[in-house]
Amino acid sequence: MSAAPRIVVTGMGWITPLGNDIDTVWNRMMASDSGMAPITRFDARTFPTTFAAEVREPSIAPFVQDLSVHATAGLNSMFALGAAAQAWKMAGFAKTRPADARRVGLYLGAGEGVLDTINFFETNMASWDAATQRCDGRRWIEAAAGRLSATKEIEQEPNMPLAHIARELGIKGPAFNCLTACAASTQAIGEAYSIIQRGDADVMVAGGTHTMIHPLGVTGFNRLTALSTFKGDPTKASRPFAIDRDGFVMGEGSGMIVLETLEHALARGARPIAEVAGYGSSADAFRITDIQPEGRGAAAAMLQALAQAGIDPHQLREDGRAPIDYISAHGTGTKENDSIETVAVKRVFGELAPKIPMSSIKGMMGHLIAAAGAVEFMTCVLAIQRGMLPPTINHARPDPELDLDYVPNRARSAPVDICLSNSFGFGGQNDTVVVRRFKD
């Protein structure tokens, strides 16, 4: 049996609450900056949570050739187009497109589009018959015709970002979308890696996009008690791994990468910027909104990814360093997640766990839900390239029960060759990707 092909990263792009280009976002993370501010998308003053990490002034104009083609694009599609166009350009495909578009695929972890909630509820009320306590279908459709755009309603479907990207970039190969909650875009990257490995594509654009900063999204997570309800400065609201953490802050945006076989990249003169070394996925088979308390599912995903990468989690490297150099934590800032992720990392790495720096960028960027994992994967690639570890900000009050190295408050210089990126989603979905420095 022939050896599996090496899969490399040749392009990256993102649209985030900290900015819309690689250097701006990275520099703000290195400065421990925060994208949290009062919500502007709707009047949230009476909600338990009044702040989020929004993408400011979103626009696809800089990224697409013909705006009219994407006239109905919702925010999640706009974010995806911007991030994918940047990754495509970095990979060198903006000028010289792939020879065979059917050998290029897409795998996204994209969330549902934003509902037109105000018009939806107004339409519902217009068709409600108080006497019968029923909705009159004919009146509903008549009212909807004046309030709701049929094409806009299609944009609620999670696969619409994929359709917009395929149209813009001319991609005609395998096309998939998964919506596995907060693990979606890490799963998308891992599955895209697997598709290339088994020979079904030479190139895959992979990542995620999402926004839930609307009344239903905020209401839902408030009712789950997952969102921070901090009453002070919004930039201090997200406090992963701190003893006073009280939930995550909603973020939005997109992260996209271009993956391809090393052979394909070199043949066209592309420069690999990192290599995907392993992917692991598991299910907790536990409660819908709770993580398995001993971290067994999360640990299983990490162990599978490490095994694929040929890394022994209990063995120091020849130079005396820990098995890996950095863990991008899921690190939401909820009491349960941060505690159990810490337990899971200890389960995997044993006595070596305290030697591995682990941080959460969600304190600066918020939780991008389905898009979070892709943005965090990109952060790992940049940590390898630039020899810096992003910080876990707002770590003023450590939790004595969480005793790993969370890179508190300030970025840190360090040699970085191998990273592990974790994502865990509601429903018990666990996904992990190992990425390492590309070496000839």
Here the tokens at position 328 are 């991008």
Distance CA 95, CA 174 (A): 22
Question: 250 — phi, psi (to 5°)?
Answer: -65, 130
What's 392's DSSP letter? B
Identity (one letter) of the amino acid at 357? P
Catalytic hit among 70, 210, 367, 395 = 367
Greatest alpha-carbon pair distance for the chain in Å reads 78
182 is catalytic: yes
DSSP for 124-153, please give it. Answer: HHHTEETTTTEE-HHHHHHHHHHH--HHHH
Catalytic hit among 330, 380, 395, 419 = 330
Distance CA 360, CA 380 (A): 11
Distance CA 50, CA 10 (A): 39
367 is catalytic: yes
CA angle 71, 72, 76 (to 5 degrees): 110
Here the tokens at position 348 are 């995997």
Distance CA 319, CA 307 (A): 20
385, exposed or middle or buried, with CB in 10 Å at 0-12, 13-18, 19+?
middle
Question: Which residue in 86, 85, 60, 62 sits closest to 73, CA to CA?
Answer: 60
Catalytic hit among 70, 178, 182, 264 = 182
What's 6's DSSP letter? P
Which residues are bridge partners to 122 per DSSP?
Answer: none
Strand runs labelled E in 249-407: 252-261, 274-283, 326-328, 358-359, 388-389
Distance CA 311, CA 308 (A): 8
Here the tokens at position 336 are 């349960």
Question: Which residue in 190, 244, 222 sits closest to 363, CA to CA?
Answer: 244
Which residues are bridge partners to 435 per DSSP?
Answer: 276, 419
Question: Which residue in 20, 84, 95 sits closest to 259, CA to CA?
Answer: 84
CA distances to 84, 183, 339 from 177, rounded to whole Å, are 15, 12, 30
- H or E segment to which residue 359 belongs: strand 358-359
Catalytic residues: 182, 330, 367
